[in-house]
Structure 1
Amino acid sequence: MAASSNYRIMIFILAIVAILVPSSLATEFVVGDDKGWTINFDYQAWAQGKEFHVGDKLVFKYTENSHNVLKVNGTGFQDCVAPAGTEALTSGNDVITLATPGRKWYICGVSKHCEVGNQKLFITVLPQTLLSPASAPCPICLATEFVVGDDKGWTINFDYQTWAQGKEFHVGDKLVFKYTENSHNVLKVNGTGFQDCVAPAGTEALTSGNDVITLATPGRKWYICGVSKHCEVGNQKLFITVLPQTLLSPASAPSPTSAAWGCSATAYRGWIVAIFGVLMMVMF
């Protein structure tokens, strides 16, 4: 009788482990980040550098009745036409779980939002893995939130290169640009645009006054203010180099109050060891 009871407990605990580990690795991607699902946004640029895995979720956020989400094939993506019978998602907070690997295409079927407004997204979904370093946050990888300029915020006549000096920016970290709304903005540019204080045609400015940019890919990043001559005369621009995500970054690891905690292989091993420890205690 005792052996039968212990066997049931073991099966129960193993089921918990099987459910806990893969599901907690899933990443939730808000399509377009703070811009959401809208027209005149480059969703391919947004997706670039991200790794999407089976089990991850796409969240399409938009004002209800202004857009929708249609899953299409490659031809439908090119022609902005959904196959007959395709059911549109229309809640304004549509969540799609990526259930299978392969190429996935999504468009907006409202008016000519896809054809004219380029409101469409193409991604490649990779098989599920226990560790996805590029896309899965973890408690050992401490994502840091940097308020640009600290208490000075995003303003003119401030030396942002001095501010950035000595800091280590990693994939997964966030830049927060704080300023009085309508007094400044934030434009992501290239090296030439940074030098000349000119944004490429079609660059969409961030204007909320509390703009959050997640550093999704490693490499050099440039940001300027496009209001008046704030960049040229007021030197309101920032250049940083983003490093790959690492398990431990001693130079940039923040205090618990500034870290975004996720999940790591180390944490899972800890959970599994603890569970099996309990199992052994029960059985023996």
Structure 2
Amino acid sequence: MVTVVVERAETLAEGVRALVLRAPGGRELPAWRPGAHVDLLLEPGLVRQYSLCGDPADRSRWTVAVLREPGGRGGSRFVHDRIAVGATLTVEGPRNHFELVASPAYLFIAGGIGITPILPMVAAAEAAGADWRLLYGGRRRAAMAGLDRLARYGDRVQIFPQDTTGLIDLSPLDRPTADTLVYCCGPEPLLTAVERRCVAWPPGALRVERFTTPAVTGADHEFEVTLASSGRTVRVPAGVSVLEAVEDAGVPVLSSCQEGTCGTCETVVLDGVPDHRDAVLTAAERAAGELMMICVSRCRGTHLTLDL
């Protein structure tokens, strides 16, 4: 965990507030790479994950941008209404399950506040001399954060304010492009549309980051989990997560979102087949079955052995 102080707060767009965080005493903050996020411990029981959107080379400050969501669970309202300049926060991370991989070419796609992890990616791609484009959509231009930072890139960036131009034009995805990685972050309808259009792309070409876990259909069933460190077996009833069952058995596990979106509770699977329900692992990682997020994922059979 890291203690930080809110050095500055500013409005980036309608409903979007940025916090610039620094370590007390001018100490360096942990290093990070584009795509990373941190967990802000806002108050007891209220932990939220936000992408870092500043400059990774600046170890003196972190920047996060938060969209006010009136119908949300309270995290964004807390950031907008209750965090003042000078406040002290506890932060976990950074963590990165959306890391920018070296490539000669990129197609970035962002919807709304999904631009936050993409902003440092664009800067890194430009600095590396890669061929890249960004398709960026939002409800209206005034609510789209980062437009000032993106203006320098000219026609590499295409802006789609929905109220004037409609939805993002995803036709560039209709023809797979060699040596190109696609990075997409935004609301679920956008991610679903992008995934459908990328079916013909090479495996691993598409990288997405979700705000929420995909909907799960079907009933849960009971299974058992063996904890490798002690050999102890724990029963996981239907409707109870592996994380809850293990913690109820007296085994503490580091976790944060408990929704399958942050990756904090990632656990090594030594035996058995996980039923993946997270929004973190790639398709290849899911198929390998070597890792699982125990806050939401379950077992396809009757038994798992975990490295706990």
TM-score when scaled to structure 1? Answer: 0.29
Flag the structure with larger Rg. 1
- Judging by fraction of residues, say which structure has more strand: 2
Length-normalised TM-score, structure 2 = 0.28
Structure number with higher relative contact order (C-alpha < 8 Å, ≥ 6 residues apart): 1
